[in-house]
Every structure is written in C-alpha cells, then in structure tokens.
Amino acid sequence: MFIESVDRIIPQQFDVFVGLDVDARSYNVTVLNWAGNVHQFTMSAQAEGLLSWRAEHLPEARVAWVYEAGPTGYGVYDALSQGGDVCLVTPPALLPRVPGRRVKTNRLDSLELAIRLRGGELTGLRVPAPQIRSLRHLTHQWLSLAKRVRGVKCQIKSLLLMEGRPLTEAGRGWSRAVGVALAALACDAEVQFVLQQRWRQLTALHEEQLRLGRRIRAYCRADPDLAESLTYLMSLPGIGWVTGAHILARVGEWRRLKRPQELAKFAGLNPWEHSTGPRIVRGGISRSGDRHLRNLLIEAAWRAIRVDPELRAFYERLRRRNPREQGARKAIVAVARKLTERIGRVLMDRRCYRPVSAAS
C-alpha cells in the first residue's frame, strides 16, 4: 500500500531522528536523539536491513527518517513508510548549506541531515505514487527518443549543407518523400551511403516513437484517474496528449494541489526575487523546476496563441511593451505561466476548459 508523503515534520512528535546518506552500494546512517547522543554506522544498501535494525534497536521509539532525493529512487521511502515510520525525501537544492565548509563526506552529510531534521528545517518533496512513477519512465523515454530524433535530423541537414545541397522546403516535413528525394540525390557514393544510413536510423526512431506513444496512451486510458485528468488537460488550447501525459507524470497527485499557481513554481516559470528592506529586486523566471516540463509548456504556449484569441491578445500586449529583441521571449514565457494556471484550475475543478467567449 502506498503511503502519501509529507512535506514537513513536527520534531516534537518524534523521539529519534535518522539521517541517511544513500548510494547504490551502502547507507551511511546517523541516529540522533533529543539528548544529543549520536550513533553512526554504515550498512549495505538494503532497505530491509534498515527495518531490521530499527526493530532491534528502536522498537518503541517514534522515529523520523530523511535522505536526499537522487538516482536511488524511492525504494527506501517505500520500505520505511510501509513499516509505519515517517520519511522525508528532501531535494538537494533546498538543503541549507554551511558557508565556508570545505569538507564533505557521507558521514558528515548524514549527520547534517539528522540535525536539520531535528530542527524542523527540511522540506520533503511529494513522492509520486507507483502508477505516476511508471508514467514518468514512459515520458522520460519519449523525451530521450525525441532528443535522438532531433540529433539525426540535424546530422542529415548538416551533411547536406556541407555538400552544398540544403534541404528543400518540400522536404522539411520529414515524410517518406524526403527519403525518396535523398535516395535520388546526385552526390558522391560515400555521401549517399551515409545519408541512407542516417535515414534508416530516423525511420527506426520514428517507428519506436509510434510504439511508445501507443503505450503511453494505453497506460493512461487503463487508469480512470489518469484518463479523466488527461481529458481535462487536452481541452486546453495548445496541449496535446504528449504534453498532457508529461504534465501528469511530473505533477503527480493532483489532489495535493492547493492553488493553481503552484504549477508555475513547479515548472520554474515563477519570477525570482531578491529583496531586503526597502530594496526590491525582481528578475526573470526562477528556472528552479523541471526544465523538460518548462520547455513543453513553452512549446504549448506557442501553439495556444495561434488558436486562443485571449492568449494571443495577452501575448501581443506584452510583446509590444518590451524591447524588440526581448519582447517575444518574455511574452511567450508569460503566456506559459498563464497556461499553468489554467492547467491547475481544470485539474482541481475536474472539468474541461471553456473559453471566455463560450462561457458567456
């Protein structure tokens, strides 16, 4: 059974605080109590071993655990949570850092985590449910394939440009006609061999993308909650099933959304600010969230302004307000941020999007 994660803990509700430095081979464990007693040890990387140690040495204590999010995933969290304990998985970017510290070891990292946990200073991330994790794996594979497709396309265009034969307007859709045109291209035999090899790579990648796309859509349709959420997202202008599935994979449990504006912060589209006293300094976007989601939302914003008059007017107003060399870029980011509010609203209200003109 999946246990919902918590963002913070109330230290007074616990007796013992355990900081873990987790890697692929071992766990460095620091145990700290209110009296300041510290016990440190290293064990093999097995979550079951933590449960056995806890049952043997702290059978009656109220224990809180913490470790940094990383490539080892959520296996430790799953085991500890199912055992009945509270476990925080904290993002490394939000950990307080000691200025001037020049020594970093696993032992010191686990000790600092335990001390910060006892002080109530740590913020945990929202651990996704198992079905969301599976969707993330699928969407990550989609992004990886899309990157490889772009790379092969660039290789083909670079080779043609080097040979003085740029891709024609009719061939920029990368349809089968492009493969026919490349095969009929009058060029050196070695150049033609490389072109055909890269075209075969591109064709194979496209087929793999199609199979993966069918798998993602079938996975979302099989889960009633995901299917319903994806329907709501696709009612928004500019959002198709690829962007919608990625949003669901990154956002996770929509029921934990408190405000529609949270998604802008999650994607790093919120403005940063560094103000103190009467001095107020505000800048561009924070870029602190998921960059893949941010890029997809900006692409969706470009599509949305083509079909949504309200967003188009909003984009044009901001574009004219800023300098010419920066206007379009700043305006489309603002559109993407506005789009995140719509996304949050349809997910929280569980309804399809209705344009202003249609609603009136």
CA–CA separation, 243 and 300 (whole Å):
8
In a shared domain, residues 316 and 277? yes
In a shared domain, residues 102 and 176? no
- Residue 188 token pair: 């050196």
- Residue 310 token pair: 């309200």
In a shared domain, residues 136 and 107? no
Assess if residue 1 is contained within a domain.
no
CA–CA separation, 247 and 230 (whole Å):
9
List, for residues 74-85, the tens digit of each pLDDT value. Answer: 999 999 999 999
Nearest by Cα to 267 from 334, 344, 328, 340: 340
In a shared domain, residues 247 and 350? yes
Q: State the pTM of this model.
A: 0.86
In a shared domain, residues 232 and 340? yes
In a shared domain, residues 180 and 107? no
In a shared domain, residues 274 and 288? yes
Assess if residue 123 is contained within a domain.
no
- The domain tally of the chain equals 3
Assess if residue 93 is contained within a domain.
yes
Assess if residue 288 is contained within a domain.
yes
Please give the C-alpha separations between residue 346 and each of 97, 128, 235, 260, 269, in angstroms, as whole numbers.
Answer: 38, 20, 9, 9, 19
Assess if residue 4 is contained within a domain.
no
In a shared domain, residues 254 and 355? yes
Asked if the model's pLDDT at residue 46 lies above 50, the reply is: yes
List, for residues 228-276, the tens digit of each pLDDT value. Answer: 999 999 999 999 999 999 999 988 888 888 888 888 888 888 877 777 7
Domain end point (choices 197, 222, 247): 222
**pLDDT at 236 (0 to 100):** 95
List, for residues 149-192, the tens digit of each pLDDT value. Answer: 999 999 999 999 898 887 665 456 788 888 888 888 888 899 99
In a shared domain, residues 193 and 244? no
Strands 16-22 and 26-33: antiparallel
Assess if residue 125 is contained within a domain.
no
Q: Which domain holds residue 16?
A: 11-118
**pLDDT at 356 (0 to 100):** 67
